[in-house]
Amino acid sequence: MAKATHNLPLYELKFRNNEISRTIELIILFLLLSLVGYRIIKLKDNGYPWLLALVCESWFTINWIIIVSTKWNQLITKTYPERLLKWRSSELPEVDMFVTTADPELEPPIMTVNTVLSLLATEYPAHKLACYVSDDAASPLTFYSLVEAIKFAKYWVPFCKKYNVSVRAPFRYFKPDSQPCSNASSHDEFLQDWMKIKEEYAKLYLKIEDACKKTEPCDLSGDYSDFSNINRRNHKSIVKVIHENKEAVSEGVPHLIYVAREKRPKYSHNNKAGAMNVLNRVSGLMTNAPIMLNVDCDMYANNPLVILQAMCFLFSDGGNNQKDYAFVQFPQHFYDGLKDDPYGNQLKVLHEFLGRGISGIQGPFYQGTGCFHRRNVIYGSSPDDKFIEGIQLSNENLQSTFGNSRELCESAAKVLQAKELMVGGSTSTITNSVEAACQVANCAYEFGTGWGRKVGWMYGSVTEDILTGLTIHARGWETAYCTPDPPGFLGCTPSNGPVIILQFKRWSTGLFEILFSSKSPLISTLTKKLRLRQCLAYLWIQLWALRSIFEVCYAILPAYCIISNSSHFLPKINEPATMIPISIMVIYKLYTLSEYIRAGQSIRAWWNNQRMWKVLATSSWLFGILSVGLKVVGLSETAFEVTKKDNGENDESNSDKGRFTFDESPMFIPGTFILLLNLTALLVFAFRTIYGNHENMMYLGEIICCKMVVIYFWAFFKGLFGRGNYGIPLPTIIKSGTLVLFVCAICIRGE
């Protein structure tokens, strides 16, 4: 690689000035330690609720220490892609782009098509790009949609580059309220082109929508014959080159390749991680680009310079204190998110503060989408052995790691031996590699190899992204957090209660099971090169499931104390120590509110997130720990559950958008139980007060806590009286009520 002649860096890093935030965080930590100390001193004078509160608050204190550590050094990054274009455009490396989809019903093909089109149209030499689409459903509908999409791409890509279009996903560019606008000198020419492209996209959309309504999208012959009578869970591997940029035209349309890995009933397919490893191998044979981008089918490229933004980090030559990063992660942002984030799943504040804090340690986590990887890192290299000696790359070692494909072993050796990013182009034409690509996409290819254990995306968790990123950090690599304006990628986010609960349950399950694997951050810190504070950052998300136990206990404690009428879990209202929990609550709430305001969020969004995290803790996270517990004792295996994508379209009226919905899932039982139990405690308190029990006022602190719990679960309260999807199903209410009666019986017996 030729050295840059200019000394200006391609990116800059600086730490945010957050001394005030640090001071407040330390004050909260001091108060938490004071509360724990007070409980220990008074432990002999109080009952079991006091002891349980001590355990819960000790956990909350540890959790807060982890948060403070993670947010301590918040990193702000800035990239200069224009410098890269000006001085080094001819040296840009090739990039393989991976798009994954698993179900054409849950993930509509038009959504996948828009993501692919946005990637094909990015500002990057077309002959250095290849887009691979993994279809885990082996759906003829998805393949048909991509074939039709490439026809449209031949108009769309030149149009975007000619007029410097800012949004290159057609469904966003041609929104119903959009108007043609351009800075082009010939406005009339632009208007004609705009109308033509819009008409072509309308035809594409109608073709795909019509195909979705048919049993078979088209005549399953010719190129479609492989999909005739196909069983999505039992079929051979399918690799098809939909479009090849044979002339290597820089202003043309990049390669587009369809991949459906082999599926057989008796084989474990390792969910998304398995699909990513197949894409890794197939692309290694066809294009072997040194950089790989992976995105989910619902997350389109929102910034046309997104690849150049990533290259500012990956293309550094080590000068100007620039680092070599293993991967570049773009934070997940969402389009058409509901106002005030009613479901608490847009995660804007988490990315703004915790995300930047993690970036200031060893680098961001791999989030599973919107991430650029170095292929040699995915192949197992470490920062201290970027160039692996030939003796380590013997044919025997290569085959034991990468499998028995001679072509794949040769391409892997080329990547691992390269001192520069300028590798790739494993064959003159990618169609020559289709047969070999089908071989490495077979489900038995990985047996006896290092895929999923030493190289590629890691197996062993349904959150394969976190596990893979953790493995990379454990080797000593640092990673980069890229936050351009506008955001690099935008995706859709679930917009109803059951889907969100399911999504967080999968996350919490996968994150918690990593703790019991050989790649646990605790083990990686002790035996490998994972830094201690990075370990703590990983523990913060991996302990979501465990946190549910303490959240549930703390939500039950005030109701138990009131109903049993025998003990307290808070300092009595006439004790000076009561100011400690009050101070913690007030300061913490004001502090988190300030974070939302600084991140440009509303007070309503802050409150919605506060209540939703309580709901998630008592549903998704709680069932996450149950799933892992069943796996540990060998009673079941954790499953990868695909969440439904609504593509911004749903049947709810505008007035009902954001209103919490329910189904018959058992995950709604704990929240309903907690609500009913606290409502029962409030009724018991009111009854005793009416009949003149003056000592009842000593439970004023517990009463305030009960009311807060009811407010946190207000969506469940409305669900008690709602109808249809907006109402809690009667069986759930009956089961929850039975649990309440059981707890009340225990309280009365204790009294």
> So which residues are the catalytic ones?
136, 465
Cβ atoms of 297 and 309 closer than 8 Å: no
DSSP state of 425: -
Per the structure block, which two tokens stand in for 473?
A: 């950090």
Q: Is 196 a known ligand-binding residue? A: no
DSSP state of 15: E
> Residue 451: CB partners within 8 Å, gap ≥ 6?
277, 281, 402, 403
Phi, psi of 607 (to 5 degrees): -65, -40
Per the structure block, which two tokens stand in for 414?
A: 């080329």
3-state secondary structure 533-555: HHHHHHHHHHCHHHHHHHHHHHH
> Residue 535: CB partners within 8 Å, gap ≥ 6?
521, 522, 524, 525
Dist CA 538 CA 380 (whole Å) = 21
Please state at what angle helix 669-690 crosses helix 700-712, rounded to 10 degrees: 140
Q: How many CB atoms lie within 10 A of CB 513?
A: 25
Q: How many CB atoms lie within 10 A of CB 143?
A: 24
Per the structure block, which two tokens stand in for 716?
A: 């469940």
What are the helix (H) ranges across 337-484?
A: 348-349, 356-359, 375-378, 395-402, 406-417, 434-440, 464-474
Single-letter amino acid code for the residue at 656: D
Sign of torsion over alpha carbons 194, 199, 202, 203: negative
Dist CA 493 CA 509 (whole Å) = 20
Q: Which residues pair with 130 in a beta bridge?
A: 96, 255
Q: Catalogue the long-range contacts made by 569-572 (C-beta closer than 8 Å, 24 or more residues apart).
A: 569/49, 569/50, 569/52, 569/53, 569/702, 570/53, 570/701, 570/702, 570/705, 571/38, 571/701, 572/698, 572/701
What is the full DSSP assignment across 550-605? HHHHHHHHHHHHHHHTS--SS--TTSGGGHHHHHHHHHHHHHHHHHHHHTT--HHH
Nearest partner of 134 among 441, 377, 494, 436, judged by Cα: 441
Q: How far apart are the first and last CA of the chain?
A: 78
DSSP state of 458: P
Is residue 496 classed exposed, middle or buried when 0-12, 13-18 and 19+ CB atoms within 10 A define those classes?
buried
CA-atom Rg of the chain in angstroms: 28
Compute CA distances 56 → 61, 76, 233, 569, 672, whole Å: 9, 35, 45, 11, 21
Whether the upstream peptide bond of residue 486 has omega within 30° of 0, thus cis, is: yes
Is residue 87 classed exposed, middle or buried when 0-12, 13-18 and 19+ CB atoms within 10 A define those classes?
middle
Q: Is 219 a known ligand-binding residue? A: no
What is the H or E stretch that residue 101 is in? strand 95-101
Q: Is 637 a known ligand-binding residue? A: no
Q: Is 272 a known ligand-binding residue? A: yes
DSSP state of 696: G
Residue numbers in the known binding site for UDP-alpha-D-glucose are 107, 136
Residue numbers in the known binding site for Mn(2+) are 272, 296
Residue numbers in the known binding site are 107, 136, 272, 296
